[in-house]
Amino acid sequence: MYGVLTTASFIQCSGADQTKMDDVKLTLSTNSALNDKLEPKTLYQLNGRLIPVNTESPPKLAYISSATLCLGPLPTLPPGLTNKTAITSLGWVLAREEV
């Protein structure tokens, strides 16, 4: 069976000076086979588009399931992968507010 798979997740952000420990909630979404799901407590590299919404709901990351790379379970990851999250995107910032 095929369908839209959605998963609640987060991106860990520490700020430019790496003094904060914030988790930004987001929703992962893909259109794929229902058995092609992401496993809990596992780190993945995803290729997709970040879609911020203009409401209180978390932004959506629509990813391509065939381009997903499993990096391994969280407790066994090498320390060099810590704080290596990167998002490359184009956008237009209309306002910014500290929360």
Spans in the chain with pLDDT lower than 50: none
Q: What is the pLDDT of residue 56?
A: 82
Q: What is the pLDDT of residue 84?
A: 58
Tell me the whole-structure pTM to 2 decimals.
Answer: 0.62
Distance separating alpha carbons of residues 18 and 22, to the nearest angstrom: 10
pLDDT tens track for 53-70: 788 888 888 888 888 888
Distance separating alpha carbons of residues 6 and 37, to the nearest angstrom: 9
Q: What is the pLDDT of residue 32?
A: 83
Q: What is the pLDDT of residue 5?
A: 84
In sequence order, what E strands does the chain have? Answer: 2-13, 22-33, 42-45, 48-51, 60-63, 69-73
